[in-house]
Amino acid sequence: MKFRQLAFLAACVTALSAPAYAETHITVLHVSENAAQKAVWNKIADDYNAAHPGVKVEFKYLENEAFKAKLPTMLQSDDSRPELFYSWGGGVMQAQDKAGFLKDITKDVAPWESELAPTAVDAFKVDGKTVGVPFEVGEVVFYYNKKLFEKAGVKAEDIKTWDDFLGAVKKLKAAGITPIVVGAGEKWPMHFYYAYLVMRIGGEHALADAKAGKDGGFKSAAFVEAGKRLRELAELNPFQPGYLTTSHAQSAGIFGDGKAAMDLMGQWLIGMQGPNSTTGKGLAESDIGILSFPVVPGGKGKATDTLGGINGWLVSKSAPPEAVDFLKFFSQAKYAEEAAATAAYIPVVKGSESAFTDPLFKRLASDLAKTTYHQNYFDQDLGPSVGRVINDASVAVAAGEMTPEAAAASIQQAAEQQ
Amino acid sequence: MTASVSPPPLSEAGPSLPSEARGGLFTPASAVYVEPARRLTLNGWATIAVFLPPALILFTVFVALPMVEAGWYGFFNWDGYGRPEKFIGLKNYGYLIGNATFARSLINNALIIIVSLLVQLPLALALALMVAGRIPGAAWFRMIFFLPYVLADVAAGLIWHFMFDGDYGVAGAITGALGMQPYFLLADKTWAFSAVLIVIIWKYFGFHMMLYVAGLQGIDRSLLEAAEMDGASAWQRFWHITLPLLGPMIRLSIFFSVVGALQLFDIIVPLTGGGPFETTNTMVSFLYYFGITRMRVGFGSAVGVVLFFICVTFAFGYRRIFMRDD
């Protein structure tokens, strides 16, 4: 009797699970730890699965470093290759494309790509071929502590040029306040200064020209001058003591503790400064202001040129057509608006900036909507081998370990060895 | 076996002689036991067929093959995607020769070895002598001294990273109590590596101490008692009895210490990340930061090959010279 029941049960289970084998599975591999972001994504996946029987979209998380280390192997395996995966664009994406791991989706995306911000769409093209779809852009800005600015008598509205900025740093310093916090232990936070200075001095063609090897490549005047300006700032000792060992998370905490007046950082700082502060609460959002990176007198860049990440989904070579269909579904305005309303991220869907209620995010989204030139992080754009050298060089120049000329030469050397 | 009947060293017989002739020519046949050539029975072959392949395959796939592959990749400019195609000959090795960071990593490895041998091992031995005896509480101390070794390397690195922090760490508390400016040891490029050395000593002395404790417990106490009755001082007993008898263990511990120093990696990453200004890298962390994370797999492989040859040369050389009797 018992055996029969079991056999019946087994038959039922088999019958039920049989359709599951016929399902199209779409795994979306990502690195996000942001709960609001994941909530939006999971909702999109659920909606899509409900509307498309026979397809199962699933978001899977891998820790950032593990993701980067495992992905090359996963892409070569037929069993564990994700259909869609997270990307920062730039050099790594180009390497993946060159190795033939990415699918050409130019024709599938062309009809609706005009709904997305053009710079973001372009970031996922390799030689004119679309290999992925962006979902978010970011902007690196100075976040400042309004109370500390007030205490030192610094007015944010008056900071337009690099000299204004240096003046503000001196004033803060004179008031006994640490002007800037930077997590230089991880190096890339310092590269924001170098990258922005190159953009402000050399304009929108500086990086592309350097990559193409024009005017001495990375030894060009824009890079050397950027290094000199960075050193000029660093000579005022504006950073917190021990900044060379400070991690990114620690630096967010220091800003949240109100121990430093400014932090040049991406939009995630808003959510990060609280949990990493000693109180766990950090600064109230109303006490945080946003300041665009100042212009450098005589430079070719505009104050409205923006530096920030562009993240998207790449489609792997063997992905079924449903994967691209899902990306179209994902890119609908209603989901972008939801992401905006919950301040989960800054979506690339045009018009979604009006859905922001959070004032800081609203400001960033409007900056990005009006951007005159948006640049991906240099270290992502250039890929890890040259990118990490830029990060190293930024820290070394700031600390006076390397001359601006030597730093520029080291980047050029890395580019040539690539 | 006694000296009188043992055959002369083979080398004296000269390599030209056929091997069968050696025994017969120079020694009385009765004194040499000639092992009959053992023929493998079917059963024996079956045993080999069952037991050899798993180990052989595992070793080949996970040890031998990757080593050969690394040697191969070392000749390419390769980012890890697809197959290596850009053959650049010995250029990766050329980059290493002129690389100041790599030179610094080699020096750091040498420093770790020196400090391990001159500070860590004597410290471990001194503590072992104290806690090996049957004094009350010895077992507790042994356990306490051994604890750092049990801790995961990454955890140890993180803990010490916080300890050395000039704002929130123990270092900050000390400078604060003394009314000094906060000092950030890990940000000081002159002294950061000494912080790494401190952590290494702290982390591994317990392991070597345990080796010595085991060695000490194997020493026949009657020798020491006899020496004591003969009027040998404590120092004489240590120098002439304990130390020589502990020899094999000391040689083993030096071996572990040097090989461990050459391969040190896990502590560096959370503690300093190779910084400030790449002054605290070891060869392996150099390989990781400049090969793996920069996606220069070919270059990283070249570093791996260099490391491999250093380790192999040391391991075989040391065993041949110092550990042949052990």
pLDDT, tens digit, 9 for 90 and up, residues B190-204: 899 999 999 999 999
> How far off is chain A from B273, nearest CA to CA, in Å?
8
A271 plus A332 within the same structural domain: no
In tens, the pLDDT along A77-86 reads 888 899 999 9
| Whether A241 and B272 lie within 8 Å, measured CB to CB | no
Q: Is A411 on the interface with B (CB under 8 A)?
A: no
**C-alpha dihedral, A16 to A19 to A20 to A25, nearest 10°:** -160
Give the pair of three-digit tokens for residue A127: 């030689």
Q: Are A248 and A292 members of one domain?
A: yes
Closest chain B C-alpha to A192 CA, distance in angstroms: 18
Residue B71 falls inside a structural domain:
no
pLDDT at A329 over 80: yes
**Residue B27 CB coordination number (10 Å):** 14
Residue B200 makes CB contacts below 8 A (sequence gap 6+) with B112, B115, B116, B120, B261, B264, B267
Please give the residue of chain A at the shortest CA–CA distance from B76.
A418
Together in a domain, A163 and A30? no
Chain B residues touching residue A245 (CB < 8 angstroms): 161, 165, 184, 186-187, 272, 275-276
Contact B81/A99, CB-based, under 8 Å? yes
Integer angstrom CA distances of residue B11 from A66, B3, B22, B34, B75: 56, 17, 11, 19, 41
Pairing of strands A288-291, A141-145: antiparallel
Q: Which residues of B touch A100 (CB under 8 A)?
A: 82
**Strands annotated E in A308-405:** 310-315, 373-375
- Based on the domain organization, do A210 and A322 belong to the same domain? no
Q: How confident is the model at residue A19 (pLDDT cuts 50, 70, 90)?
A: very low
pLDDT exceeds cutoff 90 at B106: yes
- The CATH number for B126's domain is 1.10.3720.10
Q: Does A69 touch chain B (CB under 8 A)?
A: yes
**Are B81 and A72 in contact (CB < 8 Å)?**
yes
More confident: A2 or B261: B261
Q: What angle do CA A139, A144, A150 make, to 5 degrees?
A: 155
Question: Cα separation of A360 and A285, whole Å?
Answer: 8
Name the DSSP letter for residue A294.
Answer: P
| Nearest in space to A368 (alpha carbons), one of A340, A338, A394 | A340
| Any domain includes B294 | yes
* Whether residues A34 and A77 fall in one domain: yes
Cα-Cα-Cα-Cα dihedral sign, residues A103, A109, A114, A116: negative
For residues B5 and A215, what is the distance between their CA atoms, to the nearest angstrom?
83
What is the phi/psi pair of residue A46, to 5°?
A: -60, -45
Which residues are registered as beta bridge partners of A26?
A57
The whole domain housing B244 covers 94-159+190-322
E strand map for A70-197:
84-87, 125-126, 129-130, 132-137, 141-145, 178-180
How many domains does chain B divide into? 1
Query: Which of A65-69, A72-76, A138-142 shows the lowest mean pLDDT across its residues?
Result: A65-69
- A244–B272: do the CB atoms touch at under 8 Å? no
Q: Which residues of B touch A248 (CB under 8 A)?
A: none
What's the CATH number where A234 sits? 3.40.190.10
Contact across the interface for B184 and A245, Cβ inside 8 Å: yes
> Residue B86: what pLDDT?
87
Closest among B205, B201, B242 to B221, alpha carbons compared:
B242
* DSSP one-letter string for A28-55: EEE----HHHHHHHHHHHHHHHHHSTTE
Q: Please name which of B181, B168, B192, B165 lies closest in space to residue B272, comparing C-alpha atoms.
A: B192
**Region of poorest pLDDT, from A204-208, B224-228, B271-275:** B271-275
Task: List the end-to-end C-alpha distance of chain A, in Å, as a whole number.
Answer: 71
Flag whether B82 is in a domain: no
Report the pLDDT value the prediction gives residue B8, as an integer from 0 to 100.
41
Shortest CA distance from A242: residue in chain B: B184
Distance CA B288, CA B281 (A): 10
Position A400 scores a pLDDT of: 93
Q: Nearest residue on chain B to A245, judged by CA atoms?
A: B187
Which residue out of A64, A71, A257, A385 would a mutagenesis test of the B interface target, given it has the greatest number of B Cβ atoms within 10 Å? A385
- Confidence grade of residue A66 (pLDDT, cut at 50, 70, 90): confident
Pair (A411, A271) in one structural domain = yes
Q: Is there a single domain that holds both residue A42 and residue A185?
A: no
Q: Do both A124 and A191 map to the same domain? A: no
The residue among B135 and A181 whose pLDDT is bigger is A181
Domain contains A3: no
- Both A99 and A185 in a single domain? no
**Same domain, residue pair A299 and A317:** no
Which of B69, B73, B76, B81 best probes binding to A when mutated, by most A CB atoms within 10 angstroms?
B81
B175 occurs within a structural domain: no
Residue A227 lies in a domain: yes
Give yes or no for residue B17 having a pLDDT over 50.
no
What range does the domain containing A127 cover?
A: 12-136+309-370
Q: Does residue B73 form part of some domain?
A: no
CA-based nearest distance A99→chain B, Å: 5
Report the domain count for chain A: 2
B56 falls within a domain: no
- Indicate the SS3 state at residue A85: strand
pLDDT of residue B29: 45
Q: Are residues A73 and A167 in the same domain?
A: no
B12 within a domain of the structure (yes/no): no
Which string of DSSP letters, residue by residue, matches B67-122? Answer: HHHHHHHTTEE--SSS---EE-TTHHHHHHHT-HHHHHHHHHHHHHHHHIIIIIHH
- Evaluate whether residue B142 is within a structural domain: yes
Q: Which residues contact A84 (CB under 8 A, 6 or more apart)?
A: A26, A27, A28, A29, A313, A314, A315, A316, A319, A323, A326, A327
Tell me, yes or no, whether A360 and A345 share the same domain.
yes
Residue A329 belongs to a domain? yes
CA distance A349 to chain B (A): 32
Rounded mean pLDDT of A197-214?
93
Nearest-by-CA chain B residue for A68: B293
